[in-house]
């Protein structure tokens, strides 16, 4: 008779609780029989896949807001996220991918108009230390990196990472020999420095000296073409952002910075030249140029004017041409400043 009755479907809360139990088992049971362990891991994979299906929907149905809210609330009610992050290395590749997508989605889920993931992470901010350290683990870097980028959508989390000792590590992570991991670290670095304007401006103002010393040396003067190209593009984005106007003024008052940017202007790569131009024009546009900046521009005037005479973009770009014309006029009109 039992077969006539279908088992009661599991609620989102049930799925989270069972997932949590399985994660606790995985976390604590290194010496379990292999067969039992495999069975539990299989069950865990199935649960994580179901969490993903509830949050994202599947080929048959769209996600249901109420189910997502229940899942999110239960997920952050206890330490499911911590368990999932800690156990991630023990999961198979597909389950890691599913788990990463679950964590990503949960950062955006609102419960009664609140991003409860943000509250949870503020109370468990040390989880960011684990995610960042993931860049040092080839197998985990891309999963933890993707989770990290989603977590820093929350301003308080981004602020923690920016102000932590980890920030300096990104200059090395960006140059890791594994291309995919280096690119992932660069994407996170960019997100940290562009998403939350006021937090970034405060960070750059407080940490100007060491940050730009590292940025210049390790990124703009890197021997790696991709690193240089990404770095000069990001530098332009940072300096051209109005929130960073004070930082920009300081940056374009430095002869060392000008020297580096002028070297980038001479690169054979068109894309690096173009991005360097967007930074260089800020030095030229500065109405309060220090005497040594004026001196360098005057000394190199003929070289710069020759360079810009042949300087073109692949596609027609009216704004670029206008900027270039302005830069040429400014340089041509410069007079050396007295001592």
Q: Which domain holds residue 41?
A: 8-124
Task: Provide the pLDDT confidence category of residue 335 given band limits of 50, 70 and 90.
Answer: confident
Instruction: Report the pLDDT value the prediction gives residue 194, as an integer from 0 to 100.
Output: 97
Residue 173 belongs to a domain: no
Instruction: Report the pLDDT value the prediction gives residue 4, as an integer from 0 to 100.
Output: 57
CA–CA distance, 274 with 312 (Å, rounded to integer)? 9
Residue 115 belongs to a domain: yes
Residue 89 belongs to a domain: yes
Q: What is the pLDDT of residues 170-213, one digit of tens each?
A: 999 999 999 999 999 999 999 999 999 999 999 999 999 999 99
Instruction: State the CATH number of the domain containing residue 90.
Output: 1.25.10.10
Residue 52 belongs to a domain: yes
**Which of 212, 118, 126, 226 has its CA nearest to residue 166?**
126
Residue 102 belongs to a domain: yes
Find how far residue 92's CA is from the centre of its chain. Answer: 25
User: Residue written as tokens 């000394």?
Assistant: 299
Contact 72, 111 (CB under 8 A): yes
How many domains, the chain?
1
Q: What is the pLDDT of residues 236-274, one digit of tens each?
A: 999 999 999 999 999 999 999 999 999 999 999 999 999
Residue 322 belongs to a domain: no
Residue 12 belongs to a domain: yes
Residue 255 belongs to a domain: no
Instruction: Report the pLDDT value the prediction gives residue 339, as an integer from 0 to 100.
Output: 58
């Amino acid at each position: 008779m039992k077969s006539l009755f279908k088992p009661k479907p599991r609620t989102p809360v049930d799925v989270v609780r069972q997932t949590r139990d399985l994660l606790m088992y995985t976390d604590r049971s290194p010496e379990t029989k292999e067969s039992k362990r495999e069975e539990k891991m299989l069950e865990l994979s199935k649960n994580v896949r179901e969490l993903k299906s509830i949050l994202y929907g599947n080929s048959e149905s769209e996600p249901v807001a109420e189910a997502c809210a229940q899942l999110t609330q239960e997920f952050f009610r206890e330490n499911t996220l911590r368990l999932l992050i800690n156990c991630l290395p023990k999961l198979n590749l597909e389950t890691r991918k599913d788990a990463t997508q679950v964590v990503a989605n949960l950062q955006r889920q609102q419960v009664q108009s609140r991003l409860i993931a943000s509250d949870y992470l503020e109370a468990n901010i040390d989880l960011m230390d684990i995610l960042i350290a993931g860049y040092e683990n080839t197998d985990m870097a891309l999963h933890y990196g993707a989770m990290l980028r989603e977590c820093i959508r929350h301003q308080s989390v981004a602020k923690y990472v920016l102000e932590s000792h980890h920030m300096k590590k990104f200059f090395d992570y960006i140059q890791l020999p594994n291309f995919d991991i280096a690119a992932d670290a660069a994407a996170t670095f960019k997100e940290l420095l562009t998403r939350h304007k006021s937090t970034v401006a405060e960070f750059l103002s407080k940490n100007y000296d060491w940050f730009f010393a590292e940025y210049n040396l390790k990124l703009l003067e890197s021997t790696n073409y991709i690193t240089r190209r990404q770095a000069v593009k990001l530098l332009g984005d940072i300096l051209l952002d109005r929130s960073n106007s004070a930082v920009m003024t300081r940056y374009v008052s430095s002869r060392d910075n000008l020297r580096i940017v002028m070297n980038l202007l001479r690169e054979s790569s068109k894309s690096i030249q173009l991005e360097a131009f967007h930074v260089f024009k800020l030095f030229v546009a500065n109405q309060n140029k220090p005497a040594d900046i004026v001196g360098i521009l005057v000394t190199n005037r003929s070289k710069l004017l020759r360079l810009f005479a042949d300087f073109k973009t692949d596609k027609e770009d009216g704004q670029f041409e206008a900027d270039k014309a302005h830069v040429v006029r400014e340089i041509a009109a410069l007079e050396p400043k007295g001592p």
